[in-house]
Amino acid sequence: AQTVTQSQPEMSVQEAETVTLSCTYDTSESNYYLFWYKQPPSRQMILVIRQEAYKQQNATENRFSVNFQKAAKSFSLKISDSQLGDTAMYFCAFTQRNSGGSNYKLTFGKGTLLTVNP
């Protein structure tokens, strides 16, 4: 069974600074996807960034980037130039491609509550 571990229950960062959230996962599969989702207090889960396991290049989306270490099964999220609106719960999630080539269920970590301070 796949598991996702986020070892930092809470983190805080000053506005405009950089913060890194950690995530490790366990799987025997070779074809999978990893995601970071953000859930603000308003509760809607928003996709931040995705990474295909077969791609060696780390994904980036504006101020958000990942450090994907496949051998170590590590998938950290770096937020640059933190903004007050980045305050949210961040979830790391994993999904594997099934035999039909489609994504299946998402397995989530327990989340990291990030607070950006002014």
Residue number with CB closer to another protein (69 or 103): 103
What is the smallest separation between the CB atom of 47 and another protein, expressed in angstroms? 6
**111 touches another protein by CB under 8 A:** yes
Q: Which of 25, 32, 35, 68 binds another protein (CB under 8 A)?
A: 35
**108 touches another protein by CB under 8 A:** yes
From 10-18, 64-72, 76-84, 109-117, give the range in contact with another protein by CB under 8 A.
109-117
**50 touches another protein by CB under 8 A:** yes
Residues 6 or more apart in contact with residue 82 via CB below 8 angstroms: 13, 14, 15, 16, 17, 18, 19, 116
Q: Quick one: CA dihedral 109, 112, 113, 115, positive or negative? A: negative
Q: How many residues bind another protein (CB under 8 A)?
A: 25
Residues 6 or more apart in contact with residue 103 via CB below 8 angstroms: 33, 95, 96, 97
Per DSSP, 17 falls in state -
Nearest by Cα to 37 from 24, 50, 23: 50
What is the smallest separation between the CB atom of 17 and another protein, expressed in angstroms? 26
Which residues of the chain form contacts with another protein (CB under 8 A)? 4, 33, 35, 37, 42-47, 50, 91, 93, 95, 101-111
